Amino acid sequence: MFAARKILSDIPSFTWRYLLARTLKVAIVGAGGGIGQPLSLLLRQSPGITKLALHDLHGTKGLAVDHSHICTQVRVSGYEGEKELEMAVSNSDVVVVAAGMPRLPGMERDHLMAANGKVAIKVANAISVACPHAFVAFITNPINMIVPAAAQILKAAGTFNPKRLFGITTLDLVRSKKFIGDHMQINPEAVNIPVIGGHAGITILPLFSQCQPQFNGNASDIEKLTKRIQEAGTEVVNAKAGQGSATISMAFAGAKFVDSLLRALNGEERLVECAFVASTLTDAPFFASPLELGKQGIKRHLDLPNLSESEKQALEKLLPVLKKNAIEGQMFAHNFTAERIKKLSN
């Protein structure tokens, strides 16, 4: 008896966490794409994943066989075409959506809504049917409109849970850490800075006043770095010259965010991530800010900290853009649903 107790107490607490961890299924929609492929490779290393479902219009059966030769316990299956979408996401704990077109040079993210809005709506419909309780994390652009559109579809189906729908903005934090780390000549991983607002141009607002360690530059450095963080997506789009947008850095960021969701599902405490979600912190109905995650999704929206004067002004400027984007996303979903109902009744 004593020996058994001794053995049990010798097992470190992190081992207990993994022994007791839930087995989790993650589905990636758009898994064959520039982001989807490296994301699936990174994600299979997250603790707790036992099933990984790869969905795309084509090519995922081959990717699943490729994955199946990796000597870890994750079971990977491939699903192709719209007919297999519900099957792919069925009973998922987390659905990550990286399906849709990337930008070309000269395009704004908003220009992607006509094509990607429809993809997001189809995915939201499938989720409503096949895994209504899943955590849903959109990578697909334009995030500022896609998330409100998806929320609208989930609401219409009666499956919207504001604690479980996320637009992934982690790349803005990853970039902030890197650019600030380089500027301060310190390890970027040691930099922590919240990025609030949305995920396009001036809606991306890194809060230098909250940077840890304290930012050591002047107002002009803050202005230049803020601009670079806001335009970093375009920097990659231009450098790729017609071959798409950020994929590798996005896969890194997406894996980091989804890893936190999985840890939260498995009961890990005090996990804080920024993401674009339904929010009442400001008068924009969807807003990115630091969130405490828990087993049920968002546990708590952290209060906005005291902002510097320039951050207050930047926030005032970005809120009308976010409010307009939210209406555009909701209208897109509404029109799409109305159009489909009309087609069905003809």
Ligand X SMILES: O=C(O)C[C@H](O)C(=O)O
Ligand Y SMILES: NC(=O)c1ccc[n+]([C@@H]2O[C@H](COP(=O)([O-])OP(=O)(O)OC[C@H]3O[C@@H](n4cnc5c(N)ncnc54)[C@H](O)[C@@H]3O)[C@@H](O)[C@H]2O)c1
- Does residue 141 belong to the site contacting ligand X (CB under 6 A)? yes
Is the distance from CB of 145 to CB of 180 less than 8 angstroms?
A: no
Shortest CB 115 distance to ligand X, Å: 13
Per-residue mark of binding to ligand X, 222-261 (x: CB under 6 A): -----------x--xx-------xx---------------
The answer to the question of whether 172 is labelled as a binding residue is: no
Residue 230 CB, nearest approach to ligand Y (Å): 13
Nearest approach in angstroms of CB 177 to ligand X is: 15
Is 35 assigned to a binding site? yes
Q: Are 121 and 153 in contact (CB under 8 A)?
A: yes
Is 103 marked within a binding site? Answer: yes
Do 150 and 123 touch, CB atoms closer than 8 A? yes
Residue 103 as a binder of ligand X (CB under 6 A): the answer is yes
Q: Do the Cβ atoms of 27 and 88 come closer than 8 Å?
A: yes
How many Å apart are CA 193 and CA 91, to the nearest integer? 35
Bridge partners, residue 137, by sequence: 96, 166
| Residue 36 is assigned to a ligand binding site | yes
Q: Is 198 annotated as a binding residue?
A: no
Residues 142-181 that bind ligand X (CB under 6 A): 171
Annotated catalytic residue, options 55, 67, 183, 199: 199
Whether 199 is catalytic: yes
Distance CA 291, CA 178 (A): 21
- Amino acid (1-letter code) at residue 46: S
- Cβ contacts of residue 111 below 8 Å, gap of 6+? 103
User: Which amino acid appears at position 261 of this protein?
Assistant: L
Closest CA to 103 of 291, 231, 190: 231
Binding positions for ligand Y, rule: CB under 6 A = 29-30, 32-36, 55-57, 98-103, 112, 116, 119, 122, 139-141, 143, 168, 171, 199, 244-247, 250
Residues that bind ligand X (CB under 6 A): 102-103, 109, 141, 171, 199, 233, 236-237, 245-246
Pick out the residues of the known binding site for substrate: 103, 109, 141, 175
Pick out the residues of the known binding site: 30-36, 56, 103, 109, 116, 139-141, 175, 250
